[in-house]
Amino acid sequence: MIVILKHGTKEDKKEQLISWLKSQGVDIHISVGSYQTVLGLVGDTSQVDKDLVASLDIVDSVKTVSDPFKCCNRKFHPDDTIVTVGDVKVGGGNFCMIAGPCSVENEEQIVGIAKAVKASGANMLRGGAFKPRTSPYDFQGLKATGIELLKIARQETGLPIVTEVMGVNDLPLFEDVDVIQIGARNMQNFDLLREVGKLRKPILLKRGLASTIKELLMSAEYIMAGGNEQIILCERGIRTFDDYTRNTLDLAVVPLLHELSHLPVIVDPSHATGVARLVRPMALAGVAAGCDGLIIEVHNDPMHALCDGAQSLRPEEYDSLCRAVNGIREVVTK
- CA contacts within 13 A on the Cβ side of 67: 17
Which residues 172-191 are close enough to bind a copy of itself by CB under 8 A?
185-186, 188-191
149 touching a copy of itself, by CB under 8 A: no
Please state at what angle helix 276-288 crosses helix 315-333, rounded to 10 degrees.
20
Q: Decide whether 61 or 106 has the Cβ nearer to a copy of itself.
A: 61
Closest to 284 measured CA to CA, from 275, 296, 274: 296
Taking CB under 8 A as the criterion, the residue among 46, 84, 106, 155 binding a copy of itself is 46
- The answer to whether the Cα torsion of 206, 224, 88, 293 is positive or negative is positive
Q: Decide whether 121 or 274 has the Cβ nearer to a copy of itself.
A: 274
300 touching a copy of itself, by CB under 8 A: no
Smallest separation (angstroms) from a copy of itself to the CB of 245: 5
Taking CB under 8 A as the criterion, the residue among 98, 122, 149, 166 binding a copy of itself is 166
Smallest separation (angstroms) from a copy of itself to the CB of 215: 6
Helix residue spans in the chain (DSSP H): 11-23, 50-54, 107-120, 144-157, 190-197, 213-225, 253-260, 269-273, 276-288, 315-333
Q: How big is the chain, counted in residues?
A: 334
199 touching a copy of itself, by CB under 8 A: no
DSSP 307: S
Taking CB under 8 A as the criterion, the residue among 15, 108, 198, 210 binding a copy of itself is 210
CB 211 within 8 A of CB 188: yes
319 touching a copy of itself, by CB under 8 A: no
Q: Which residues contact 261 (CB under 8 A, 6 or more apart)?
A: 69, 72, 73, 74, 217, 220, 233
82 touching a copy of itself, by CB under 8 A: no
Taking CB under 8 A as the criterion, the residue among 110, 289, 294, 313 binding a copy of itself is 289
284 touching a copy of itself, by CB under 8 A: yes
What string marks each residue from 236 to 255 as x (binds a copy of itself by CB under 8 A) or -?
--xxxxxxxx--xxxxxxxx
